[in-house]
Structure 1
Amino acid sequence: MTAGPDTAEESPISTVSPLPSATLGSDKKRSLEQITLLLFITVPFLALVAAVPLAWGWGVSWLDLGLMVTMYFIGCHGITVGFHRYFTHGAFKAKRPLRIALAIMGSLAVEGPLVRWVADHRRHHKFSDAEGDPHSPWRYGESVPALLKGLWWAHVGWMFDQEQTPQHKYAPDLIKDPALRAVSRQFVLWTTVSLVIPPLVGGLATWSWQGALTAFFWGSLVRVALLHHVTWSINSICHAVGKRPFKSRDRSGNVWWLAVLSCGESWHNLHHADPTCARHGVLRGQLDSSARLIRWCERAGWAYDVRWPNASRLDARLLK
């Protein structure tokens, strides 16, 4: 790889010291936080369950669908390109405006503060599907009852575990950056912004409270619930089933039917075989919109030193 235009930029996973104080409380989750988390999971989920009968009875406007899809893919790419491929794995380097924009976009997905998300995911890769992995579906064993229990744990249950990943240990570089630390601390603010944008646009576009209400239902609640469960499915489904064309030390698999909604994240086997690769869908026909977005940012000069797939590395990891 060649050096980018701004050589002063650092990789997001470099280790730095000394460290300021913790970004978000202690390493143990308190009761109030667990209750808040439960509300953020159940309320959008109930909206998602209600979406089908409501759409059947009342219909859904193109404005509602447009807001839902737009906000969904802004948040999804904020998670996949920003929180995951950039901040967690350093698959590319980013100019400072892009770095902050990705931190905010990921926060709009309402999946937790930046520093905590990255710390959890780095820990997951260190112990993937082994003792210490915060959300392996194989946690309880390999029998059918154990796997069903493990799938529930990997999908949702692990988030209610009182013990949290030490943020200073797994994300010291993010804590060191004042701007990223601020975005992480302001998670409640970005959650509010994420939930308010659809009804604000819907209300102003229709000049009615009903337009604001339906936009909130589809563009805020249903959108957040759908994105949550697609993201959590990478932790659960993609570590239990799927094709495994590449060598990895865990059970990560490719699940094709999640590819579009997950913005390419469900090509999970290659990701665990080569975690710093900027593209996850490397085989023919594997759609990966996150890689496409990174390519556009590279061409615009906002991203550089991108770790694109290397033919020899892929061939060495491919099962034959």
Structure 2
Amino acid sequence: MPASPGPVPTSRQTTPAADELPPSGTLGGERRRSVEQIALLLFITVPFLALIAAVPLAWGRGVSLLDLALLTVFYFIGCHGITVGFHRYFTHGAFKAKRPLKIALAIAGSMAVEGPLVRWVADHRKHHKHSDAEGDPHSPWRYGETVPALMKGLWWAHMGWMFDTEQTPQHRYAPDLIKDRDLRRVSRQFVLWTTVSLGAPAVIGGLVTWSWQGAVSAFFWGSLVRVALLHHVTWSINSICHATGRQPFRSRDRSGNVWWLAVLSCGESWHNLHHADPTCARHGVDRGQLDSSARVIRWFEKAGWAYDVRWPKQSRIDAKRNTPDTKRGENRKETSGAHAA
């Protein structure tokens, strides 16, 4: 599986005719339709409103152990589906997986309700190609470096970019996924896996408590609140981790390490090393940097389900480490002025 989307067509190259391309990896094709925009708005706002309502509800009446367990289990299934599956495996090829694991990771990532697999991967590959420069789908530095511009950019990087009607060309950035029949099918079944993700906690809660009240409570905490929390943690990697954080490694962008997001992001917030070495299977490479996604990959490797894992080598890590003369200031010079729009 390729770690990058390959060469970008130039003006001299011709775009393949529609009948020469394999089927799209999403039902909506390359452009967001009005119906999809409305569905996206609902997927974002309804769980977010539930997350806001969860604070007074938890304070006033608490949350049951069953609801908390459902929230936690489904959160980390979806989170690792995104981090191990969508990100480290499908986007960057940090390891290879046997077919059952490949399909399982595609489904687990889809249950995070962050969009179809092919679209997610295409967007992220484009992000790495143009990271924090013109062409990046979600850089917080898009509008400039003043405080008002950064505030606007943080909003764009966190969630505003998802409402852009023009989408990353799937056949250009994720052709390998589209050609894979298993992955194309899972990606096009996004609505199905969203339904499973939202419905399963309610079914389990109702069966365990044998009551409609238990089902509704489980749906609120295990579905809505869980999805909203996972959404905003994931989106914080795009926004917060590209606006602040330590940079112990050399990268051509402003990616930083944000320690307080490490547990909830399953290790993704050790973002500086990831941008310095995108195909590395482990992001938290220094002592004390928790990276549960790397641990899960290790378990898959020991079970024989994953192989050819690209674990970090000390010599490679040392070669990419910043020296006192190559701190954040140097990285800023490389990207300064590239984000005015």
What TM-score results when the alignment is normalised by the length of structure 1?
0.95
Partner of 1:22: 24
Aligned pair 1:191/2:194, yes or no?
yes
Partner Cα separation in structure 2 for residue 84 and residue 59 of structure 1: 35
Cα drift, residue 13 of structure 1: 6.3
Cα drift, residue 23 of structure 1: 2.1
Alignment partner of 2:219 out of 188, 195, 216: 216
Partner Cα separation in structure 1 for residue 21 and residue 306 of structure 2: 26
SS in structure 1 at match of 2:85: helix
Is the 1:198–1:215 Cα contact (8 Å) retained in structure 2? Answer: yes
Aligned pair 1:38/2:41, yes or no?
yes
Partner Cα separation in structure 1 for residue 61 and residue 301 of structure 2: 44
Partner of 2:238: 235
Q: Which runs of 5+ in 2 are unaligned?
A: 7-15, 324-341
Residue deviations 1:128-172, cap 9 Å, x none?
A: 000000000000000000000000000010000111000000000
Is the 2:5–2:174 Cα contact (8 Å) retained in structure 1? Answer: no
Is the 1:11–1:92 Cα contact (8 Å) retained in structure 2? Answer: no
Q: Which runs of 5+ in 1 are unaligned?
A: 1-9
TM superposition outliers: structure 1 runs of 4+ over 3 Å: 10-15
Is the 2:67–2:205 Cα contact (8 Å) retained in structure 1? Answer: yes
Partner of 1:60: 63
Partner of 2:97: 94
Partner Cα separation in structure 2 for residue 177 and residue 26 of structure 1: 17
Residue deviations 1:174-200, cap 9 Å, x none?
A: 000111000000000000000011010
Is the 1:13–1:87 Cα contact (8 Å) retained in structure 2? Answer: no
Residue deviations 1:56-98, cap 9 Å, x none?
A: 2222100000000000000000000000000000000000100
Partner Cα separation in structure 1 for residue 211 and residue 35 of structure 2: 35
Alignment partner of 1:134 out of 128, 134, 137: 137
Partner of 1:261: 264
Cα drift, residue 102 of structure 1: 0.2
Alignment partner of 2:252 out of 246, 249, 252: 249
Alignment partner of 2:121 out of 118, 121, 124: 118
Partner Cα separation in structure 2 for residue 50 and residue 189 of structure 1: 27
Cα drift, residue 19 of structure 1: 4.6
Is the 2:3–2:279 Cα contact (8 Å) retained in structure 1? Answer: no
Is the 1:277–1:309 Cα contact (8 Å) retained in structure 2? Answer: yes
Which residue identity is paired with 2:94? A
Partner of 2:152: 149
Residues paired across the two proteins, number: 310
Is the 1:19–1:176 Cα contact (8 Å) retained in structure 2? Answer: no
Is the 1:155–1:236 Cα contact (8 Å) retained in structure 2? Answer: yes
Alignment partner of 2:281 out of 266, 278, 281: 278
Partner Cα separation in structure 1 for residue 76 and residue 89 of structure 2: 17
Partner Cα separation in structure 1 for residue 98 and residue 198 of structure 2: 28
Cα drift, residue 212 of structure 1: 0.4
Cα drift, residue 310 of structure 1: 1.1
Partner of 1:207: 210
Partner Cα separation in structure 1 for residue 35 and residue 24 of structure 2: 19
Alignment partner of 1:78 out of 81, 84, 88: 81
Distance 1:13 1:244, change over 3 A: closer
Partner Cα separation in structure 2 for residue 180 and residue 98 of structure 1: 12
Partner of 1:319: 322
SS in structure 1 at match of 2:84: helix
Is the 1:267–1:281 Cα contact (8 Å) retained in structure 2? Answer: yes
Is the 2:5–2:173 Cα contact (8 Å) retained in structure 1? Answer: no
Partner Cα separation in structure 2 for residue 209 and residue 12 of structure 1: 47
Partner Cα separation in structure 1 for residue 214 and residue 29 of structure 2: 41
Is the 1:11–1:93 Cα contact (8 Å) retained in structure 2? Answer: no
Partner Cα separation in structure 2 for residue 246 and residue 88 of structure 1: 21
